[in-house]
Amino acid sequence: LVCPGFIDSHVHSGHRASHRLITDTGRPDFYGQPFLEITVPREGTRVGGDPRYARPTDADAETGNRLLATFTVAEMLRNGTTTFMEFGSQVRVQEALLVEVERLGLRAYLGAGYDSGRWVGDDKGRLKRIVDEPAGRKEFDGALAFIRRVDGSVGGRVRGLLAPREVETCSLELLRATRAVANEMRLPIVTHAAYNVIEFYEILREHRMTPVELMDSVGLLGPDLTIGHGNLIADNALLNYSGGRDLPLMGRHRVTVSHCPVNIARRARYLD
């Protein structure tokens, strides 16, 4: 059987091991959102034991990122994927992927992620969102520098992309800046949105809009946007919400949804 290569529109380099740890388990107060349990550090600390979150000066950081990149690219090739989009890992992870893409022959959309703050856990294990807009702007500038350096490289097989990691952890200014650069440089955008019950209600509480409506309000929606997951839009029965316009908005702007059915099915979620 011969067929065209597949396109993987939602890749996280190095997440494969953690996928195996979260099937059918988890804290009820996270409403089925798995990664909050394995990527959220206690406030004032960092995630340990995972090369993706190692400091560049840590002894095994470079080796770990290289191994994760090799495994990620080799796994995709083995499954018939010839083009992929990486969803916002750090610059050093993108650098490691770039090496493997050049060596093994895939096409890739690469771009370092950025945000204006992160989820952390307090001393009682409760979620808390930390806002750090200067750090977010610094990450954004670093992501643009990486894109300018690699876009069109490796014989045109590598393109840049803009990756505001999650809608709820990015300021409105950062989302608007993303749209402006995407228009100027003709770059695709990827972000996680409408993927998490907590995210949905946090945005609703802060802005009185759904995540999709918020993206529309800052001009982010468009045919160059890929929404990661997008399964928890306004009319999903799991949300018990009756006021949104999410599906018509996404259709009108011709956005792409990369909903990752196997991933979300591990927690009994679905694209409704």
272 residues of the chain, pLDDT tens digit each: 788 999 999 998 866 656 666 666 667 777 877 666 666 666 666 555 455 556 667 767 788 889 889 999 999 999 999 999 999 888 989 999 999 999 999 999 999 999 998 888 888 878 888 899 999 999 999 999 999 999 999 999 999 999 999 999 999 999 999 999 999 999 999 999 999 899 999 999 999 999 999 999 999 999 999 999 999 999 998 899 988 899 999 999 999 999 888 878 777 777 77
Rounded distance, CA 130 to CA 239, Å? 25
pLDDT of residue 116: 94
Rounded distance, CA 159 to CA 174, Å? 21
Which single residue is written with the structure tokens 């997440």?
15
End-to-end C-alpha distance for the chain, whole angstroms: 33
Report domain extents, the chain.
6-265
Q: Is 39 helix (H, G, I), strand (E, B) or coil?
A: helix
| Identity of residue 74 | A
Predicted TM-score (pTM) of the model is 0.91
pLDDT of residue 123: 82
DSSP 26: -
Q: Name the strands in the sheet holding 189-193, side by side, starting at the edge strand that comes first in the sequence.
A: 189-193, 225-229, 256-258
pLDDT of residue 36: 61
Assigned token pair, 71: 């495994």
pLDDT of residue 18: 61
User: Which of left, alpha, beta for 44 (phi over 0: left; psi -120 to 50: alpha)?
Assistant: left
pLDDT of residue 139: 95
For residue range 24-73, what is the model confidence (pLDDT) as tens digits? Answer: 666 777 787 766 666 666 666 655 545 555 666 776 778 888 988 999 99
Q: Is 50 helix (H, G, I), strand (E, B) or coil?
A: coil
User: Which of left, alpha, beta for 88 (phi over 0: left; psi -120 to 50: alpha)?
Assistant: left
Rounded distance, CA 130 to CA 242, Å? 29
pLDDT of residue 119: 84
Strand partners, 160: 110
CATH of segment(s) 6-265: 3.20.20.140
